[in-house]
Amino acid sequence: MKFIILAAGKGTRLGMDHPKPLTKLKTEETILERQINYLSKYVNKKDIIIVVGYKKELIMKSFPDCTFVFNPNYDKTNTAKSLLCALNNDFKSDIIWINGDVVFDQKAIKFALDSKESCMLVNTESVSEEEVKYNLNNNGTIKQVSKNIKDGIGEAVGINKISKNYIKKFIDALEKCNDQDYFEYAIELLIQKNIPIYPIDISSVLCMEIDFKEDLELINKKL
């Protein structure tokens, strides 16, 4: 198993002068520290690949035991290209990737680990206009996933899994993405090739992306 954390962006909406994953929580740990503490219960830290960009030295100095991949175009590209930087055809295991601004409970990762299928963790309790939404095919697999869906039945939470059998096709899909595309567009390209992606509802588990100061205040209350 390989874990990939996308931590290259500036996170300007939160208004910090450091990479957003280094934002400190009420628990006195940073978002990224919390993520790595949970992930390292399942893999060696060398199998945690962190995609860095903005002020990368701050992240690399904080977590020297992890593996780092630099996105040199972090200020011009979105998550699809950051994820592409971390992937290669030599991967012989499933991968789970996580947005670097997601605060989650350890149970959330267990859901992804236990899945035998490629999957996307979702929250069905809210469907915000600003968030990445999804809907379903009749067989329960994901039909569409993007911010533009009108009939979304839930939100993606920023934790996803692709089984090793589909990694090469996923790389091909990421290569077809434009610089400003989110990685969810690559998932849609897989779906168009009839590759099944299953939603896993973790609404009952703490899992929240931190985009704005209001999000940070809310997660600190929950913690």
For the stretch 46-80, pLDDT in tens is 999 999 999 999 999 999 999 999 999 999 999 99
pLDDT at 90: 79
Confidence (pLDDT) at 129:
80
Query: In this structure, what token pair is assigned to residue 213?
Result: 């100061």
Amino acid at 140: G
> What is the mean pLDDT of the segment spanning 110-135?
93
- Output the CA torsion 90→102→45→26 (10° steps): 170
123 neighbors 132 (Cβ within 8 angstroms): no
Q: How confident is the model at residue 11 (pLDDT cuts 50, 70, 90)?
A: confident
Q: What whole-number distance in Å separates Cα of residue 100 and Cα of residue 103?
A: 9
7 in Cβ contact with 52 (< 8 Å) = yes
Predicted confidence (pLDDT) per residue in 146-156, tens digit: 999 989 999 99
pLDDT of 130 over the 90 cut: no
Q: Is the pLDDT confidence value at 193 over 90?
A: yes
Q: What would the CATH number be for the domain defined by 2-222?
A: 3.90.550.10
pLDDT value at position 76?
95
Q: Please check the confidence at residue 15 and state whether its pLDDT lies above 80.
A: no
Task: Please compute the mean of the pLDDT values over residues 169-181 and round it to a whole number.
Answer: 97
Residue 92 confidence class, pLDDT cut points 50, 70, 90: confident
